[in-house]
Structure 1
Amino acid sequence: MIIESLDFKDFRNYASLHLDFDPGTNVFFGDNAQGKTNILEGICLCATSRSHRGSRDREMIRFGAEEAHLRMMIRKGGVPGRIDMHLRKGKSRGIAVNGVPIRKISELFGLVNVVVFSPEDLGIVKNGPADRRRFVNMELCQLDPVYVHSLIQYNRVLQQRNQLLKEISFSPELLDTLDAWDSQLVRFGSAIIRSRREFVRELNGILGDIHAGLTGGRENLVLSYEPDTEEDEFAGCLVRNLEEEKRQRTTLSGPHRDDIGFSVDGINLRRFGSQGQQRTAALSLKLAEIEIVRRKTKDSPILLLDDVLSELDAGRQENLLGILRGTQTLITCTGLDDFISHAFHIDRMFRVAAGTAVLAGKKEEPDR
């Protein structure tokens, strides 16, 4: 799987942009706030329908414009493909695959697998549970269409149930309709719980060796899935929590409150780990994410490294860059020589400045 080219019109700070990518390593360098991250955001948007920065559609349309257009040309198994996205202020977006409009976002997932690594990801261990749920959701949505369906339906039912809990205080007779929403919430929520538990189990099967390599075998990292409730207990939780939910007007149990635990040799990293241990665990998690995509899809994902190398020391850089071989990678950075080894091969470089990205050449590998 590779991305061949990318086109923007009125996206972020780009009035118009066309980029042709190398199948290997592509580097975008320039000062801060010039548009480097916007390029990776556009790729992530086309691949997953979501911005890795959590941006809304209207925030991604260039100032002064009413709409934005993105086009990404891909090649998968030697077969060319095209993804078009149309963002409009105050209106739903339009998405087309190979020129055919799609009706459901789920039809987009899995066409292009991307792994995004940003400085914020280094804080995934110490950040709040929402960040860890977002990580799991992003990966499972790319790998498992059934999970996509379950998650979409669960969120829909959860929103309806929360609205009903707000209305019950004014219209008590609506309480009789709650059971219908509860049964759907349990059905889709249980499917999510099962998928997340299996995903964490698979990650653990990969994570140990990766983390041992990063720490010279000194640490044993283990993930634990921490569901808010088990599948067979979910329905009972809803019943027991009903009075409190009516008071708080929100659903208090379910996978929307799940978490993932990190432990090294039995020590809780979130509570007692050093910053260095937490960052190394986060790096191990991202590397395991790459490997799990390779195993499940029999192909390498596209790697998007958003100014992350400057956050890592030389040893962690070396481990991360070692994984890039045979994988199309797009890297943003402020300068080339500050953190990239002279032995590191760059296939294509782009200088980014004030909403332009200009091909700057190729860095040759040194003589051996």
Structure 2
Amino acid sequence: MYLEKLSLTDFRSYAQVDLSLEPGVTVLVGANGIGKTNLMEAIGYLANLSSHRVSSDAPLLRFGTDRALIRAKIVRGEQPTVLELEINSTRANRARINRSNPVRARDILGICQTVLFAPEDLALVKGDPSSRRRFLDELLVSLVPRHAGTRSDYDRVLKQRNALLKSARAGKFSSGQEATLDVWDQHMARAGAELLHARLDLVERLQPHLNDAYRQLTDGSKEAGAIYRSTLQDVVDDDGGAFEAGDKGQEDLRALSVDELTDRYVKAFAASRRRELDRGISLVGPHRDELELVLGPAPAKGYASHGETWSMCLSLRLASYYVMLADARTGGSAPILILDDVFAELDVQRRRKLAAIVAGAEQVLVTAAVEDDIPLELAGRRVKVIPGGIDEPDNR
């Protein structure tokens, strides 16, 4: 798949900008702070309905406006699709597909697929577990768009359950509310089991690609791995004893069905009930799980050097790309690769290795402040970004 046209209205720094693209490598060159990343952010948002830079939509709207528009023409095989996404400040976002009637924003998920590399990726190793959970969930949704509903259902139930637990901590919890909590336990167990089952499957698919990618980017002297740590594996009951099914290990969890995981969660919630009521928060569930990244014998976080940290981050993104390529061969489409200001962060050796790996993708979009940062392996079209738009003579 490739992006043929991108048009933004009132998105970030752009009142209006139109960008024509083509398959192969395109490098957008311009001074720092001029808006190159805004263009890449818009493409990434079209794919994931989230930004790699901010957690809310408000900063995406040009200052003083109440909506932004992203329009794009995606070509998948020989089939073009026109997407329009409206980001609103006061109402739900909405979208159009091929100029049809408006639909929910999440109905466009899966149409535009991207893998985006950015300096913010350092958080995948150095940041808290939420960064790694988000990485998994965004990839899940890219591969299977219905999992957007899975995550949304889980977040909704978690919010309701936490509200009940906070009431208990505030001393406003009745026996009737405890019965209501039992009902929410069932809902959360089911939604959590579906999300956990999907994540475990995804980590299993990522693992070999992660190690291969790390070997491609380095001298191959260390193995790279990822281990999913579920809260189901370390539940203790209210008397301090281990929950009977709580430490069966990752292998056993992967072997369980959604129904079996649901049953595990129901038992874990019961075992943790008193502690959760005391603390006023849900202590068990996918929202507290961890994806532990391992480099050689040690965790990457806290032990990896700066160069190793960058290699691990890049390897995670490359592993995503390889998983999506495998999916494309079974009826999907190869994703668009976006490298946003990445090469300036890398030494010459890593620049060349990364460039050689991605150069053969159907479409590669790269941003750089200095053209000399771009390795020769990424020869291709150059586009000059100027304040407020694109330098048209270089955009032909």
TM-score, normalization: structure 1?
0.92
In the alignment, structure 1 residue 210 sits paired with structure 2 residue 244: no
- SS of the equivalent of 1:185 reads helix
DSSP 3-state at the match of 2:301: helix
Pairing partner for 1:262 from 293, 300, 305: 293
CA distance in 1, matches of 2:337, 2:308: 23
Native 8 Å contact 1:83 1:97 kept in 2: yes
Show the 5 A alignment for 1:7-156.
7-101=7-101, 103-156=103-156
Q: Specify which of 352, 357, 362 is matched with residue 318 of structure 1.
A: 352
* Counterpart contact for 2:123–2:131, Cα < 8 Å: no
Alignment counterpart, residue 300 of structure 1, candidates 316, 334, 352: 334
Residue 343 (structure 1) shift? 5.0
- 1:12-32 superposed Cα distances (whole Å, 9 cap, x missing partner): 111111110121112222122
Using a 3 Å threshold, how does the CA distance of structure 1 residues 362 and 12 change in structure 2: closer, same or farther?
A: closer
Deviation at 1:42, TM superposition (A): 1.1
| Residue 116 of structure 1: how far off its partner (Å) | 0.9
2:371 partner SS? coil
Aligned to 1:234: 265
Which amino acid in the other structure matches residue 246 of structure 1?
A: L
- Cα shift at 1:118: 0.5
Corresponding letter in the other structure for 2:325: R
- The letter of the residue matching 1:211 is Y
**Residue 340 of structure 1: aligned partner:** 374
Shift of the alpha carbon at 1:350? 2.2
Contact 2:225 2:294 in 1 (8 A): yes
> SS at 2:314's partner residue?
helix
Question: Aligned partners of 1:60, 1:222: CA distance in 2, in Å?
Answer: 35
2:282 to 251, 266, 271: 251
| Deviation string, structure 1 residues 151-192 (Cα, Å, up to 9, x no partner) | 111111111111222234324131111111111111111111
What is the rounded CA distance, in whole Å, between the counterparts of 2:395 and 2:265 in structure 1? 56
Q: Which residue of 2 aligns with 1:366?
A: none
Equivalent residue for 2:389, pick from 344, 356, 360? 356
**Offset at residue 93 of structure 1 (A):** 1.6
TM-score, normalising length: structure 2:
0.86
Residue 229 of structure 1 contacts residue 255 of structure 1 at CA under 8 Å; is this kept in 2?
no
Structure 1's unaligned 5+ residue stretches are 364-368
Structure 2 gap segments, 5+ residues each: 234-260
1:243–1:201: structure 2 CA closer, same or farther, 3 Å change rule?
A: same
CA distance in 1, matches of 2:319, 2:157: 32
Deviations 1:37-93 (A, max 9, x none): 110111112222212223433322212223222211111121111111112222222
Per-residue deviation, 1:103: 4.1
The question of whether the paired residues in 1 share the 8 Å contact of 2:339 and 2:367 is answered with yes
Partner in structure 1 of residue 366 of structure 2: 331
Aligned residues of 2:93 and 2:104 also touching (Cα < 8 A): no
Alignment of 1:270-281 (within 5 A): 270-281=301-312
Alpha-carbon deviation of 1:255?
0.3
In the other structure, the counterpart of 2:251 is: none
Q: Which segment is superposed worse, 38-47 or 133-142?
A: 38-47
Farther off after superposition, 130-139 or 232-241: 232-241
Taking structure 1 as reference, are residues 95 and 270 closer, same or farther at Cα in structure 2, changes over 3 Å only?
same
Distance change >3 Å, CA 264–CA 52, structure 1 → 2: closer
The count of residues paired between Structure 1 and Structure 2 equals 361
1:105 is displaced (CA, Å) by: 4.1
Give the Cα separation in 2 of the matches to 1:108 and 1:182.
Answer: 31
- Which residue is 2:172 aligned to? 170
Paired with 1:35 and 1:362, the residues of 2 have a C-alpha distance of: 16
- RMSD of aligned C-alpha atoms? 2.0
User: Secondary structure of 2:394's match?
Assistant: strand
Alpha carbons 1:229, 1:253 under 8 Å: kept? yes
Q: Helix, strand or coil for the counterpart of 1:175?
A: helix
Secondary structure class of the residue paired with 1:62: coil
Helix, strand or coil: the match of 2:5? strand
Partners of 2:327 and 2:138 lie apart in 1 by 15
- Following superposition, the deviation at residue 278 of structure 1 comes to 2.0
Q: Distance in 2 between matches of 1:135 and 1:202?
A: 14
Given the superposition, is the C-alpha separation of residues 254 and 320 from structure 1 closer, same or farther in structure 2, using an over 3 Å criterion?
same
Q: Distance in 1 between matches of 2:143 and 2:202?
A: 10
Is the contact between residue 119 and residue 345 of structure 2 (CA under 8 Å) also seen in structure 1? Answer: yes
State the SS of the aligned residue for 2:4.
strand
